[in-house]
Each structure stands twice: as structure tokens, then as C-alpha cells.
Structure 1
Amino acid sequence: MGQHIPQIEKKHGRWSIDYAGLYQALRLKPFRELIRKPQISQRLASLLGHEVLCWRSQFFHKLPGTDETPWHQNATFREAGKYAKLQPTQETSPAIIQLNAWVALTDSTPENGCLRILAGSFTDARIDYLYNFTPNNKIFYLSLLPLSPVYLYHAVKVAFYGRTFNKSALVLFTALKLIGEDFFDQFEVKDIKMKAGECLIFSSLNMHASYPNSSKTQGRFSFVARCTANHVKVAPYGKDMYSTDEGLIEYDIPDVSTFQVYGNDTYGYNKILKE
């Protein structure tokens, strides 16, 4: 991310391991070996195929008093950028363009902010579609919101300058209006309680969220490997946008941003860490 983004995040008191920990498995071999363990890698391969890479690794540290993470889903990870970061070269179900291997490094409970999953919602990608539609159609999107001047003021701030998860929450609110049904009634909400060392594999297209950390002393810490098949081109444009309190900042994605999890790469689309 260079130096500019960390400086902005530190200035606003937001710099943490959640951001500093991006791509760190490229440097920390024990975390690469963790995801390569048969208990994880073979399950990923059973869904993604016999060539699997990790395209992004990160840590999540939910400190006591941290707010909830709003419901969201993602298939190709456009996020705040101009383009999708994952571009399959073969026909692929949106539900398995990528999978998360979410490893609990501490116990994860409703009190310290455990994950919540809307089981089966990977079959309905409309909210992800609207999330990708919104950045190119902000005026249309804002026209769908309530006419309260105060609400619109905050909505415009979020739409143009807000952080990724704030935008997700705003898009979800509008999406539920457009869908015209109670989206959440179709599926069962499951709280994912985990012991340290356990791993959950799930599609990012499955709607997921987390509780606030309401404990006084117990943090929730996890490591996540985002994995995809080797036939998927990862960030082919080499750049992405990062959402800060001072607006969107473009940055260069690491030249080598992936590592092999299972099998050997026969496609050559991505620069994979040499070990």
C-alpha cells in the first residue's frame, strides 16, 4: 500500500493489524503451511479443483467494544476498486469463484463478536450485484433513499467517501427495498462459535456478518486465507482502490500477491510466490 495509506489510517486512529496484516502470509511461512494442511487444502480442492491458490491473506482482530460487522456478500471482490479483482477464465458458479478459510486464533463466541452466516444465501447474488452496480450509478442509487435531508447528507458522504463496510450497509438497506421481499426470511441465520484452532470454509457470496464485541477483556483474533482456482486471474490490472476517511486512494497490488495452496499451477495467469 506504500506509505501514504498507512499515514492516513494512523492519522485517523484506524491503522491496525486488520490492514497491516494484509498479504502477510507471503512473508510468514507458518501461515502458508497452515492453509496447506490436508484438513484445509483438500477440502478447498474438492470444491475449487486440483489447482488452488491463496490470492489474499489477512488477519482480523476484533477488540473489546468493537462494533458489529454488517451483513455483506462478495463474489469477485470489486470492493472500492474500479474492477473486479477475481476474473475467472472458465465458466464458474459465482458461489465458488473464491472460498474463505477462516481460522480462529482465539475462541470465537457471540460475546466477543463471532461470525454469523446466512446459511444458503450463496444461491442469491442480487445484493452483490447491486453492490457492484452502485459505484457506477450513484445518483440513481441515492434517488432510492428516503428524502430526509439529514439522511441524504449522511448517505452522500458514505456513497462518495465512506469506508467499504459502511457502503455495504447502505447498499444492503437499498437492496432490500428493491428486492421487495424479506431477504432474510429465506435463510437461517447461524452463529458460528469456534474454538481456537478450528477452521471454517465458506463462500464469500454467502451473506455473513459478525456480532459486536461486547466483552470487557476478550478479543477475537482470526487468520483468513482467501482462495481461488488457478484459472482465475487475480487483479490483472495491478491496482486497487483503498477506502479511507479522506476518500479513495489508488495503490499498487503487490507484484507477487499469491501463493500455491494445492497442486501445481499450469495456467500461468498469476505471479505466484516461489518457494
Structure 2
Amino acid sequence: MARTKTFALSAEELEQFARDGYIGPFDLYSEEEMEGYLRQTRPKLLKTSNSVYADGQTVSGNTNLAASYDRHLDVDFLSEHVTRPEIVDRVSSLLGPDTLCWRTELFPKYPGDEGTDWHQADNFSSVDGAKHPHIVWPEDAEFGGTITAWTAFTEASVENGCLQFIPGTHTSMNYDESKIMEYNPEIINQMDKDGVKRGLFGYDYRQLQKDPDWRPDEDKAVSQVMRQGQFILFWSTLMHASHPNSSDTKMRLGFASRYLPTQVRVYPYSDELLEFGARASLDKFGCVLTSGEDKYGHNRFVDTNVNGFRFPVH
């Protein structure tokens, strides 16, 4: 018998999401709960030997794949987090009953760090040197992209670098992900755009613009302030960014979990992940079934946790 979806989105919320491309924030943890989970989890996050990308080849001294990507596959709290009904019920309201989580990322922003530049992601191929789409929707799909649940593991304020959205920009892409975007670690925290420190972790996202003279309409931007323990849902195709961290002492930590319906193919043309100057094998990677069932057999899914690892199964 199917579980009742306690946290399904209402008709009004679905209409709002269709219009704006995002909705929230929603309460998930109290501030005290989230702080407690952070204290328990930080030592595990610092230990990357159990990460599915621990054997990755590092280039230019960059190690963020093992430390920041897909830690839900080796850290129990994050594994439980991506399947929380508060998130999954709302996601399945948008994507249908059969959903998976295919990627998670940790986004720390330390005092003095630049903001994240305006960007959109449809198939996530733009930072892959091989130019392979990471996700492939069916040809008859009405849309692409992924639903991101971004959770504030710490407070997210304008001062310490909260998210920004431009509502309603999720239905058309201003960027061509087939273009080449060059990784350059020398530009991290060095880019200035109209007087604001804003980059993309060593990439200049403007290299992907369809029109080199186009600029986002920042007058319509919304700053998404969130208390510690809340989350928000948005389409990856929505124009989004973040403020710089201009505080002296407040680190901001966000955790993004990304969801798809099970008919979407994940990494169909790749056997390695190549991003941010580093590469790692996808041998230990697998999707997590978060609701319903897999009727298609397109993707690998993870099985049970054994000694810190989640073993992929077909």
C-alpha cells in the first residue's frame, strides 16, 4: 500500500512553482536539530576515503569531487536527508510518482568568498571537458533540467551569501551548454562583475551565453534568505546565483540534492566525472530511488550500505 504523501504540494503551490520556477522555503529541521547533525557529520565530511570519488585523479590541486560531491552515498545523515518525505513528497508532486536522486553537492561559502554568478543548467554538460550531457530526458519531454532541493545547513543571509533567483526565467535557456567553458583556478575569488565579486568556482559562465551582449535583469532578482534547517525547491534551469560572503566570521553551508523522474538517463555516455579540474571514475556511483519504482532500467541504483559504501546495482 502506497504511503500517503503528507507533504505534497497544493494546487496553489504547484501553480506558483510553474510560474516562478521555485517555491519555499519549507521547514525541515529546527535550528537546534540542524546544528546537532552538523556537529555529528562534520568529521565524516572531512574524511573522504569512503567517498565514491576518493580514487579520483586530481588536477591543479583541486579535490572538491571527493569532498563535496555525492556524499549521500557514504554519509548516513545525508543519505537519510535525500529521502526525507518533506522533500520527496513535494518533489514527486512536481515530477510524478517515480523519482530518483542522482547528485548531491555541498556548497560552503567562507567569509570573503565571492558570490556565485548567474547561471542555468539543463543537461549539466557545460563543466565536463568531454561535453557529454550528464542527464538526458526523453525526446518527447516538455522540459529538461533537474529539481534541486537546496537546504540551509547554516543560516543563509544576504551578508553571508544566500541564494538569488530571477523568478519566471526557467522556461528558456540563455546559455548554450554545448559551448566550451574553460576551467581556470587562478580566477577563483578574483572576478569582478559590475563591482560585485562573482564567479563560478573557476569558470566564467559568460562563455556559454547565446548572446554575448545579454545581461540578466538583476532588478527582478529575489534574495532567498533562509534560517538554518530550511530548504527550497527550484528548477536548475531557473536563473540563480548567490551573494558574496561579506561577513567577517559567518560561514554559509548549503546542501543541494538533485532529483529526476526515473525515465531520465543519468550519465548515459560517461564512465568518469570530469569537473573543476579533477576527474574521477563513476564505477561506484549509483542513483537513489526516492519514491515509487524504476520501470525503465536506464540507470544504476545503489543498494545497501556496507562498511561505509553504497554498492551500485543494476
- Short-chain TM bin: 0.7 to 0.9
1:194-209 matches, cutoff 5 A: 194-209=226-241
1:1-275 matches, cutoff 5 A: 1=53, 3=55, 5-6=57-58, 8=59, 11=61, 14-15=62-63, 20-81=67-128, 82-89=131-138, 91-95=140-144, 97-127=145-175, 130=176, 132-135=177-180, 159-162=181-184, 165-171=201-207, 174-177=209-212, 183-184=216-217, 188-237=220-269, 238-244=271-277, 250-275=279-304
Shift of 1:80: 2.2
- Structure 2 residue aligned with 1:145: none
Identify unmatched segments of 5+ residues in structure 2: 1-52, 186-199, 305-314
Secondary structure, counterpart of 2:302 in structure 1:
coil
Shift of 1:93: 3.1
What is the number of residues matched between the two proteins?
235
Task: Describe the shift of the 1:262–1:46 C-alpha distance in structure 2 as closer, same or farther (beyond 3 A).
Answer: same
Q: Return the alpha-carbon distance in structure 1 between the equivalents of residues 158 and 143 of structure 2.
A: 29
Between 1 and 2, higher relative CO (CA 8 Å, sep ≥ 6) is seen in 1
Please report the RMSD computed on the Cα atoms of aligned residues, expressed in angstroms. 2.4
Secondary structure, counterpart of 1:56 in structure 2:
strand
* One-letter amino acid of the structure 2 residue matched with residue 265 of structure 1: D
Q: Return the alpha-carbon distance in structure 2 between the equivalents of residues 116 and 160 of structure 1.
A: 24
Q: Return the alpha-carbon distance in structure 2 between the equivalents of residues 269 and 2 of structure 1.
A: 25
Q: Return the alpha-carbon distance in structure 1 between the equivalents of residues 299 and 210 of structure 2.
A: 34
* One-letter amino acid of the structure 1 residue matched with residue 142 of structure 2: S
Instruction: Return the TM-score normalized by structure 2.
Output: 0.68
Identity among equivalent positions (%) equals: 27
Q: Return the alpha-carbon distance in structure 1 between the equivalents of residues 268 and 174 of structure 2.
A: 25
Q: Return the alpha-carbon distance in structure 2 between the equivalents of residues 213 and 92 of structure 1.
A: 38
Q: Return the alpha-carbon distance in structure 2 between the equivalents of residues 240 and 66 of structure 1.
A: 25
Task: Describe the shift of the 1:103–1:183 C-alpha distance in structure 2 as closer, same or farther (beyond 3 A).
Answer: closer
Instruction: Return the TM-score normalized by structure 1.
Output: 0.77
Task: Describe the shift of the 1:36–1:2 C-alpha distance in structure 2 as closer, same or farther (beyond 3 A).
Answer: closer
Moved >6 Å (runs of 4+) = none
Q: Which one has the bigger helix percentage?
A: 1
- Structure 1 residue aligned with 2:17: none
